[in-house]
């Protein structure tokens, strides 16, 4: 019966049957646990999924029921997705670091009947909010440590559920009964509900069909020529659409192996051990790797520093040309080859990127210098633009057409148009079915003929044909004098500097632009250690006048760059401050995908905003915070404010008045 699915493999459970038949002994999943890599073949994954699916059926899960999935990247949690889908149920991954209120909203809104979680921490969190989710009948846990003395009336281990499935398989599901259930699943069915961590309001449940996810993923596999020989490390949140596509959908379609790291802290080491060939990381990851590298080089010997900087200079000059297979002088190739032995190869090995064929970044703009640094090392790093509502792919950069300031051309089968107000709209087979239980929001986002409003402002470069994203369309504003104000554009320029981790730009309908900054504790902390600057906390370091001096140089560099950029020349930063605490998702300041909630922050730090614009040089503030264990507290501080010089647009002379009005 399995062969019958080949011609109509329109759901992931059907693909699992095919992979188990055609790639029976090929690795499908690995997990590093207690220092040892454990491997499951496609045939073994089929048996794991089958027994768990039948166990879920014994717990009452059937067509249309929701199964919540909460935890880190673990094979059993990925198997749960397929197990639920095989029964016609709908998996609902939830961010494992969600605070109780966020988690209870999603569980209740989705009416989850069973929650499959990673460990004791997630069990405790779900139990604490279980009374708010009346539909929730069982909690299934993967890791049994610490669970022995719990009341198991509603709790079951993963093995317990599989045991139920084994028993039921012998008595109720004889022969091909489970496969007949799989045959009932169709491409038009809802495959998954992924809740967006929106910058305002409650999360929205994005319903994606099997057709949405599979067509988008199949096109992406063909675009980058992915095969069943790829190796991928799964470390991004399972509730994020990117992980669902890269670590689940594309794997089932291509048949490649997905590797789960031992812990979040060992991702780079585990990536090195596996030899990852296909990878995705947000810009923050690439920025952090580069920051750590530069920090280490400051502590290296003079000879090593000199060698490093010399060969990095060679790479910056010739590396991208060599990567793009362009004509390069023989002496440059020889010098680059020596650099590969002495610097580039060891550096790529440290990053765990020695075997990378394709690497992507998306989500936020990545600094051109950072982007080019990795490509200069010979890493095929590319950019894409996507959304949950698109099953990820809207645009991607084709090989040989890689530009630091663009996000690529429309992905296969994707149409894009730019509205009169500059907003980007797209239409594709990956377009979502709608927002769960929210037809009004669906109608606001998706037109009757299938076009989706992205909420982003952008334009097509007339020379390259590539899409460039400026900012969120609703965030693009004007200063009082009519100057264009694109806050995200300014924030990204600031975050290109290793000392600055986060930035929040203010200025719409105001006389001038101000920013609130977070320093990067790794980069600035390393500087403090080298310069014997003593500090006891982030708050102390952020308030140090020497840190302000250092950051002011970065802000000044941004102003100089903006002065060269025509319409943005008048949006230079007139005043800035360094926040007394790091922006945190638990405090509602960032989304779970680490995007700034700009309007929320402006309201939360209203006294700081007022001080930035009334000419104050410092201001006292007390801020409520949420600790990791859920407790509330408060941080009080006196925050200093700096004025910055404003430069005339290119072609004019002296800098403008330094002091803010």
Starting at the earlier edge strand, list the strands of the sheet with 138-141: 90-94, 66-70, 112-117, 138-141, 155-157
| Stronger pLDDT, 131 or 7, i.e. the higher one | 131
Separation between Cα atoms, residue 213 and residue 360, nearest integer Å:
18
Residues 6+ apart with CB under 8 A from 465: 409
Identify which of 255-269, 450-464, 588-602 has the greatest average pLDDT: 255-269
DSSP string, 519-559: E-HHHHHHHHHHTT---SSHHHHHH-HHHHHHHHHHHHHHH
| Least confident window among 166-180, 404-418, 504-518 | 166-180
pLDDT at 652: 59
Q: Tell me: pLDDT of 568 over 50.
A: yes
Q: Tell me: pLDDT of 199 over 60.
A: no
Q: Tell me what the mean pLDDT of segment 531-556 comes to.
A: 94
Residue (of 384, 421, 431) closest to 403 by Cα position: 384
Assign 528 a pLDDT band (cuts: 50, 70, 90). Answer: very high
Query: Across the chain, what does the average pLDDT equal?
Result: 91
pLDDT at 293: 87
Q: Tell me: pLDDT of 567 over 60.
A: yes
Separation between Cα atoms, residue 186 and residue 396, nearest integer Å:
28
pLDDT at 8: 65
Q: Residue 224 half-sphere exposure, CB side, CA atoms within 13 Å?
A: 31
pLDDT at 651: 58
Express each pLDDT in 433-489 by its tens digit: 999 999 999 999 999 999 999 999 888 888 889 998 877 777 788 899 988 888 888
Q: How many CB atoms lie within 10 A of CB 185?
A: 20
Separation between Cα atoms, residue 353 and residue 276, nearest integer Å:
7
b vs e for 297-314, b when ≥16 Cβ sit within 10 Å of the residue's Cβ?
eeeeeeeeeeebeebbeb
Q: Tell me: pLDDT of 113 over 70.
A: yes
Residue (of 552, 642, 470, 592) closest to 99 by Cα position: 592
Q: Tell me: pLDDT of 561 over 80.
A: yes
Structure token digits, residue 501: 């981790």
Assign 659 a pLDDT band (cuts: 50, 70, 90). Answer: very low
Separation between Cα atoms, residue 49 and residue 61, nearest integer Å:
14
Express each pLDDT in 133-151 by its tens digit: 999 999 999 999 999 999 9
pLDDT at 275: 95
Strand 66-70 to 257-260 pairing: unpaired
The model's pTM? 0.80
Going along the chain from its start, the domains and CATH numbers come out as 2-279 (3.40.50.12780), 281-379 (no CATH), 477-643 (3.30.300.30)
Share of the chain above pLDDT 90, in %: 71
Sign of CA dihedral 383, 387, 388, 390: negative
Assign 14 a pLDDT band (cuts: 50, 70, 90). Answer: very high
Q: Tell me what the mean pLDDT of segment 550-574 comes to.
A: 89
Assign 200 a pLDDT band (cuts: 50, 70, 90). Answer: low
Express each pLDDT in 318-345 by its tens digit: 999 999 889 999 999 999 999 999 999 9
pLDDT at 313: 94
Q: Tell me: pLDDT of 106 over 80.
A: yes
Across the chain, which distance is largest between two alpha carbons, in Å? 87
pLDDT at 130: 92
Separation between Cα atoms, residue 207 and residue 431, nearest integer Å:
10
Express each pLDDT in 608-629 by its tens digit: 999 999 999 999 999 988 776 6
pLDDT at 566: 66
Is residue 210 within 8 A of residue 248, CB to CB? The reply is no
Separation between Cα atoms, residue 498 and residue 493, nearest integer Å:
11
The distance from CA 158 to its chain's CA centroid, rounded to whole angstroms, is 28
Express each pLDDT in 53-98 by its tens digit: 999 999 999 999 999 999 999 999 999 999 999 999 999 999 998 8
Torsion of CA 525, 527, 533, 538, to 10 degrees: -20
Express each pLDDT in 115-135 by its tens digit: 999 999 999 999 999 999 999
Separation between Cα atoms, residue 464 and residue 523, nearest integer Å:
36
SS3 173: coil
Separation between Cα atoms, residue 51 and residue 18, nearest integer Å:
18
Q: Tell me what the mean pLDDT of segment 226-252 comes to.
A: 96
pLDDT at 478: 87
């Amino acid at each position: 019966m399995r062969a019958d699915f080949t011609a109509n493999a329109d759901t992931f459970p059907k693909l699992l049957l095919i992979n188990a038949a055609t790639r029976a002994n090929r690795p499908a999943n690995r997990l590093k646990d207690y220092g040892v890599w454990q491997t499951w073949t496609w045939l073994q994954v089929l048996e794991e999924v089958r027994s768990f699916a039948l166990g879920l059926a014994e717990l009452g899960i059937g067509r249309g029921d929701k199964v919540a999935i909460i935890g880190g990247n673990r094979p059993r949690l990925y198997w749960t997705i397929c197990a639920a889908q095989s029964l016609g149920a709908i998996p609902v991954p939830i961010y494992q670091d969600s605070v109780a209120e966020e988690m209870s909203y999603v569980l209740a809104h989705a009416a989850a009947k069973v929650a499959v979680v990673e460990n004791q921490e997630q069990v405790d969190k779900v139990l604490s909010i279980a009374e708010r989710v009346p539909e929730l009948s069982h909690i299934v846990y993967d890791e049994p440590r610490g669970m022995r003395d719990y009341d198991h009336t509603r709790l079951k281990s993963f093995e317990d559920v599989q045991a139920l499935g084994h028993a039921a398989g012998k008595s109720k599901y004889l022969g091909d009964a489970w496969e007949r259930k799989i045959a009932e699943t169709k491409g038009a069915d809802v495959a998954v509900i992924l809740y967006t961590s929106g910058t305002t309001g409650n999360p929205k449940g994005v319903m994606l069909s099997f057709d949405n996810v599979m067509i988008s993923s199949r096109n992406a596999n063909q675009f980058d020529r992915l095969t069943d020989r790829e190796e991928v490390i799964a470390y991004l949140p399972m509730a994020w659409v990117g992980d669902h596509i890269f670590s689940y959908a594309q794997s089932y379609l291509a048949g490649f192996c997905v590797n789960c790291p031992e812990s979040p802290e060992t991702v780079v080491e585990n990536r090195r051990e596996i030899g990852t060939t296909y990878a995705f990381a947000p810009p923050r990851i690439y920025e952090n790797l580069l920051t750590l590298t530069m920090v280490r080089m400051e502590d290296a010997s003079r000879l090593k520093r000199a060698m490093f900087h010399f060969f990095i200079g060679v790479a910056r000059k010739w590396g991208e040309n060599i990567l793009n297979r362009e004509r390069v002088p023989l002496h440059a190739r020889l010098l680059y080859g020596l650099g590969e032995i002495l610097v580039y190869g060891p550096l790529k090995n440290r990053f765990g990127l020695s075997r990378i064929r394709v690497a992507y970044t998306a989500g936020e703009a990545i600094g051109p210098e950072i982007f080019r640094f990795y490509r200069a090392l010979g890493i095929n790093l590319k950019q894409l633009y996507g959304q949950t509502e698109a099953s990820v792919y809207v645009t991607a950069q084709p090989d040989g057409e890689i530009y630091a300031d663009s996000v690529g051309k429309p992905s296969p089968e994707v149409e894009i148009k730019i509205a009169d107000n500059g907003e980007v709209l797209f239409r594709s087979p990956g377009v979502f079915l709608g927002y769960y239980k929210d037809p009004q929001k669906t109608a606001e986002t998706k037109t009757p003929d299938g076009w989706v409003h992205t909420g982003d402002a952008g334009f097509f470069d007339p020379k390259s044909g590539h899409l460039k994203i400026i900012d969120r369309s609703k965030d693009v504003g004007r200063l009082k004098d009519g100057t264009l104000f694109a806050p995200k554009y300014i924030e990204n320029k600031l975050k290109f500097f290793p000392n600055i981790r986060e930035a929040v730009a203010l200025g719409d309908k105001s006389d001038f632009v101000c920013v609130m900054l977070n320093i990067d504790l790794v980069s600035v902390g390393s500087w403090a250690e080298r310069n014997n600057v003593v500090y006891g906390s982030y708050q102390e370091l952020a308030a140090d006048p020497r840190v302000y001096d250092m950051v002011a140089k970065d802000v000044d560099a941004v102003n100089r760059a903006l002065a060269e950029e025509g319409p943005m020349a008048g949006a230079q930063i007139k005043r800035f401050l360094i926040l007394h605490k790091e922006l945190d998702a638990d405090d509602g300041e960032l989304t779970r995908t680490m995007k700034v909630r700009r309007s929320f922050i402006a309201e939360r730090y209203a006294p700081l905003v007022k001080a930035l614009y009334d000419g104050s040089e410092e201001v006292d503030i007390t801020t409520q915070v949420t600790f990791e264990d859920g407790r509330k507290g408060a941080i009080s501080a006196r925050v200093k404010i700096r004025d910055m010089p404003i430069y005339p647009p290119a072609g004019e002379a002296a800098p403008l008045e330094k002091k803010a009005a």
